[in-house]
Structures are given as C-alpha cells and as structure tokens.
Amino acid sequence: MIKKCLFDNYCGRDVWLYELSGEGIKVGITDFGAAVNYIKIAADGAERDVCIGFDDIESRLESATYCGATIGRVANRIGGGRFALNGREYDLPKNDNGNTLHGGTCGFDRKFFDAKVEGERLTLSLVSADGDMGFPGSLALSVRFSLCDRALNIEYEATSDEDTVWAPTCHAYFDLDGGRNIADTLLKINADCFMPVNAQLIPQGGLKSVVGTPFDFTSYKRIGESIDADDEQLRRGGGYDHNFVLNGGHAASARCESSGIGLDVYTDMPGVQFYSGNMMKGKARGGELLPRQAFCLEPQFFPDAVNNAQYASPILKAGETKRHFIKYEFSLNK
C-alpha cells in the first residue's frame, strides 16, 4: 500500500512524500532527492523510527548530511574533482577539501524526481542533462522502491547517450534503538580488507587487511569499542568513514540489543562505506543532530574508482543500461 501526502514546498514546487506500508514496516520517501525520510519498524507494540529524517527540505539541506537521499552521479569522493574519459579531461565542482563528494554542489540529493506508483512499487526518475555538475552525457535514471516482508528494496537503473560515470548509493542514517547513540550497536561487515585514505579521505591505493586493526568487523563488534583508538586512519576520518571491500552480496549486519531490531544489508556493488556519523549536525526530526548519533552503510563502487583502473569500473557506456540494487532487511530479535 502506498499513500501520498504533501510534505513541503521548496523553491516554489510542492514536495510529496510517499509512504510504503508492509507487515511491520512503514517507509516514507520524498520525491525531492528520492530520499528515505523515515523507516518505522513495529516492535514491542509500538513503532520505532530507525532512520534519521527531517520535517522539511530546508532543514535537511542545512544539515549537509545527504540524509536518506539518492546519491549521484557518483557516490563518495572523486579525487581532485577531475577525471579523464576517452582521452578528455573533466573538471567537476569541488565541494569537499578539493574533491568532489556525492555528485558535486547540486547532486541528485538536491533534485526533484518524477514519481510513478505502480501497485506496491514507487518509481522515482529524472534526467540529468549533459554537463550536469560537469559530467558528460544525458543520463536517464530510475530508482524503484518496494517492500517485501520487513525489507526495503531499492533498484537503480540508468542509461546514457554518451559514455559517462555512474555509481549510485542510498545515504540513509540508521539508529536502531532510537536513542541517538550508536556506540553499543553491534556491527558485522563481510569484508577482510578496507581502503586506507589520505588526509583528504581519498584512498591511498591498495587494500589493507582488517586483522589486528580497529576496522575488524568480521565478527560482531560494538561500534564504539575501537572508534577512539589511537589509529591514524580513525583520526583522519574523525571515526569510521571508510570503504570496505565486500566478500559477497551480504554486505553487513547490525544488531541493537536494547530494541531487538536487526538490520542486514545486501547489494551487487563491490564495496560498502561504513560512516559513523562523525560530522552530523543540524536539526532533524526529533531534535538536534550530534556526531555519532546514527551510522551509514552505503553500498557503492570504490571511492575515486574512475581514476583507478584496478578498481571495478563505474563507467556507463553510451546506450548501455546498468542496474544495481540495495536491500535493507530488518528483523526482530526479541
């Protein structure tokens, strides 16, 4: 079941929220930014919102969190805000320490999508024009949201009339107990290696084993257990803000003992960015946002992959259709 209601008015246009309902789960999605604004899980006779969201668009943008939004054209960072494709150099807006982050100064998180409801599925689509944020080619994107049991399925599909770069993600922030404190949340990531970064949070090249480091989440570990360890990588990110190299499609699992709510993340993309909300700020639904009140598990292509031929390629060829998916599956452990 999908309900539509007016959420806000931004830049003279109405912003609509679509609520998808299933057994024990409700998900609210806005057509501005194709953004997940809440995920309510029925637990202990009540609904618990496990996803950070906002009461209006201006508050979300002022927070600079990208909270819940569809990210594009390219998730994460492009080093130096430039890349080469087919012998041509492309310069992009630099919005993060001399790099391009999450598509630039006006990425997909800041765009209106067209909405179509088909039964129990919501499809949000847009066309990103040739030259949008410096990227080549006219890119047609659709993002399909649906529920199956307590799982939110997100399916991405894109095509372009020129060779271009495309690497999506969902930037949802999770708080599984609703208490705005993730330190005791148990996390497991299906990865033996992570990607060390330089001071600008660009991968330094190569992979590093998680064994013997604070980045070892190969078995369940509390997020707060090692987050303040004496480690140069943690200092650079202010906590966790790193790409993990996935061993398979079951990317990660998180569990909250106090609420009994669990989260499992699945994807066909090669990496997942674990971000511990180190720079959270602004006023969200429910009050002020502070660092480490929620965490992100963002399936993705590797950061700066367009500038590294050794990584899985984010290139979308002219006339080709590419598809990717993310599945956020919730469970009750009590």
Torsion of CA 233, 234, 236, 237, to 10 degrees: 120
Residue type, 168: P
Structure token pair of residue 150: 């307590």
CA atoms of 265 and 71, how far apart (whole Å): 17
| Two tokens, residue 37 | 């604004």
**Cβ atoms within 10 Å of 199's Cβ, excluding its own:** 9
Active site residue 298: yes
Compute the 3-state secondary structure of the chain and give helix, strand, coil in percent, each to the nearest 5: 5, 50, 45
Q: How far is CA 148 from CA 3, 154, 197, 305, 329, in A?
A: 17, 11, 37, 32, 9
Catalytic residue among 102, 171, 242, 324: 171
Catalytic annotation present for 171: yes
- Map tokens 């095509």 to a residue: 159
Tokens 């499992």, residue located: 264
β-pair partners for 114: 125
Which of 102, 242, 298, 324 is catalytic? The answer is 298
Query: By CB neighbour count within 10 A (0-12 exposed, 13-18 middle, 19+ buried), where does 328 fall?
Result: buried
**Which residues carry out catalysis?**
171, 298
